[in-house]
Amino acid sequence: MVTRADLIGSWELVSWQGFKNGERIGYPMGEDAQGQVIYSPDGRMSGFLMRNDFRDAPHGANPDPNTSLAYGGTFRLEGDEVYHDVMYSTIAHWLGHPLIRTVVPQGDDMILKTRPETTSSGNVYEHHLFWRRVKG
């Protein structure tokens, strides 16, 4: 069983993999994507993800969800799932809705898995984000 204490702290992204019908289909922001998620003791959270080459974008370039995204709000645990209750986001349709992730502990690290989503074509998509705890 995952506890709040298991999540509290800062985490760095190791990898983000996409799956279609249970088979890996690649890395949504590249094999070298970067990111962090932070869970605070007062129940707040924030997350940021970006392509590694985003740093090379021209000055003034407008990011899109394929190059960088960020969101924050509060979090709560229900069983082995963490609910990110989104209050702030670079993706408008996430605002006011929970992003639900299954927490899979991996020693001192963890995987956050998105809930499977089935498209109108019947394909099932899921994302696995592997995080390493920042030691301080």
Contacts of 7 (CB under 8 A, 6+ apart): 39, 75, 77, 82, 103, 110
- pLDDT tens per residue across span 2-47: 999 999 999 999 999 999 999 999 999 999 999 999 999 999 999 9
Tokens of 99: 């992003």
CA 23/CA 21 separation, integer angstroms: 6
For the chain, the structural domain boundaries read 4-133
Q: What's the mean per-residue pLDDT of the chain?
A: 94
Q: Which of 50 and 136 is assigned the larger pLDDT?
A: 50
Instruction: Report domain 4-133's class.
Output: mainly beta
Nearest of 53, 95, 55, 51 to residue 71 by alpha carbon: 95
Alpha carbon distances (Å) from 84 to 15, 38, 110, 133, 136: 20, 11, 16, 18, 24
| pLDDT bracket for residue 67 (50, 70, 90) | confident
Please give the Cα distance from 40 to 70 (Å, whole number).
16
Whether 66 shows a pLDDT value over 90: the answer reads no
